[in-house]
Chains A and B, each alone.
Chain A
Amino acid sequence: MTNMSANPETVTENTSALKNKLQALHSWAAVDDSTLNDGQKLAVKYFMGAVILFIFQILFGLLAAAQFIAPNFLYEILDFSVNRMVHINAMILWMLYGFIGCTYWLLEDESGTEIAGLKFGVLGFWVLSAAITVVVLVYLLVQTGAGNDTTLWLINEGREYIEAPRWADIGIVIVMLIFFYNVVMTFSKGKWSGIAGVLTLDLVALAGLYLAGMFYMTNITHEQFWWWWVIHLWVEATWEVLVGVIMAWSLMTILGVSRKIVTTWLYIEVALMFGSGILGLGHHYFWIGTPEYWLTIGGFFSALEPIPLVAMVVHAVYDSGERGFKNMNHPAMAWLIAHAFGNFFGAGVWGFMHTLPQINLYTHGTQWSASHGHLAFFGAYATINIAFFYIAIQHWRGNVWMGADSPNSWRWKWALALLNIGVLGMTIALLIAGYEQSFIERAIGGSTWGGYFAAQTHPSFMTAMHWRMLFGWVTATGLGLLVWDLLTIGKGETRKAEVITHSE
């Protein structure tokens, strides 16, 4: 109780010491808070949280990958199940932090007014961050033994990819509602736009769909039915639309594309995305005990899902022809291009390769899924968040020139190359492992335990896992370089970036 009764002078001294340290950090990083509006200051917090979670994702991914090669590594200290869970959940959360940050970043510019309910937004950030810290510590230190009603509320709900305990689930929804409130009230106070409308409707779906993963059903088919509502509809509907909004705003900001053009395409892409993505959900229902018509629905609508990606390709070619890739932020532009390719290959090519039920029967839940997941999440979501980090850091450093000829530009170029090569290498390695697993475990072994172990110990599977580990290290090196670059890019640069004026 001594600390609780610390005298006010000590508290004031500690507070000012912390402020001085923060100021020193700001000076070292050459960032200027006065260039940011309140929404952007809040966005920066989310971006920092995203980068920290990105680092956690890679670290725990490396641990999990190592345990494929050496199963006894850290056994009963930090088990594979926990490492994999932290790896995946950190990924989901850093994407969300990035998306929320991007939204807060563009909020005041897009609405033309100050952010509404800022204090709730800041509170939401700290509550979410504190909750995540507690949940991860519980995963790492406490999670043992069988599950029951108590563990469901306090430790783990047992739902893959959304393992947060019930108390944290409720917290996440509250934070999402605060976020929704900030967005809607700010646009209501300022001005609405096409982008604002799409964003608002998408956030309703984003918060609402999460509720589908919060109730418990004893029938495994029912349980899986609703669980996919969160997993599939978040990723292949609401996140894709959110990315469309972020992409639209980014194109206006760094390429100067007309608002009318991006808004028109946003509407078309949203229509195509929801038109194909919602019933494309059926491809997850093939093998969970749902009625057979899901084979038809899932197969047909999954075949339509790549069409929005084609629309983006044609649009990108037209815009590049119009603008000749003239832009004011080369690293951000490079990552946006990586996004276009990554989304197409990861979601489109790798997705359709094993979507139809005739082949999905053999590939479902094998390393094939992991291969698709790695490239799709990186290509569709990580890349656009990283592009936005560069947009933010440029502005935070006083809108300095960030071009291919800038000093130390090798850092962002190598970070871009290593991250993309690393993820692509892991994807190919997992594809080989998945192919072998589909063949030996599923087709020959008939999905038996014998088939499972024969596949897991096969030399081609093990070789693929070694390659995955190697490319995991390449990815980690790229991430290290990316963080270094974000901390330093544009420092000491005196040239100002060209100001892009928006066409209406």
Chain B
Amino acid sequence: MSAKRKTAAREIFALGAEAVVEGALLAGCSFYGGYPITPSSEIMESMAERLPRTEDGVFIQMEDEIASLGACIGASLAGRKVMTATSGPGFSLMQELIGYACMIEAPLVLVNVMRGGPSTGLPTSPAQGDVQQARWGTHGDHSIIVLSATDVQDCLHMTVKAFNFSEKYRSPVILLLDEVTAHTREKITVPLAKDLEILYRLQPSMPPEWYKPFEETVRGVPPMPPIGSGYRFHATGLTHDDHGYPTQKSDEVVAAISRQFRKIDQFFFDIQITDEFLTEDAEVGVVAYGSVARSAHLAVEQARERGIKAGLIDLKTLFPFPRAAVEGLLRRCRTVIVPEMNMGQISREVKRVNPGTSTVWTINRIDGHIITPKQILESIRKG
């Protein structure tokens, strides 16, 4: 890196997957552990090439997805910014360790390029079937941040965001892409790291004897020093007290889990990112994410040309669910349409936050084909 330090933003023609890698490197990712699976493998291949050439980058192909996430968690404990990428079956294998990462509050970024499922499903076809799994796939009650991206440029920026959130909130962050976004090639701008906001996990300022790795703080996020820096602590998946030691005492258990929820819930205004398009005077609303949001964007434009007051909310954050924005749309519109490439995983959330002011329609597609602007426009015209 040092020899050829880039001095200006670059324009490149890149796959969504490659844009993820650009974003990760800008954010300071220096560890990737992964296992190949379509349609996410391009992320891994690009990392394999790029990381060893960076200052302290480590790339390792592990024996499976469980091992990949395990290695990432270890490297995260050692102070690295880490990433792994996978797809349906691999994502399922990772679930136990996602819960573990939540419990020990290890920052990490997990990109899931969704494919059709269940099971081996439709390996190279677009789908959005892992939305609820990303939120609730592991066992137990936990908070988590789930993001998505609409186009290739967005892949870069949302990856940077994913790293920032994971560091800021000491939490795993899942970036859900669909095959269309990851495999589209577009011209994008790669900014310089200095022009971006890049966040790092909070470091302790107290002497090691005073440090408590899971202490209550104003933000609910305890500082996290790297292993080997003099702050020795215990990390366990068992419910633990603020020292990290296992506990079953009600007051300690409730305090620990509540803090983990609160550290994310109370900052929903920071985390819940949405893009609104012509929603101010909208009478028919669309809520979409990923590549479907691109189709929806065009559909809304075409509806406007036909005199229909349509508007779109493009969800960049899926969880915590951007309730405020969606509720606003539901209050304004007589109909809200939720097109998605699954049987209704985000429409479920939209219906949940509907104050009863509008009807929620769904467009569901599970045959491995994209949802076209035409399909959405037809629905808007009926709404």
Q: A and B: real partners?
A: no
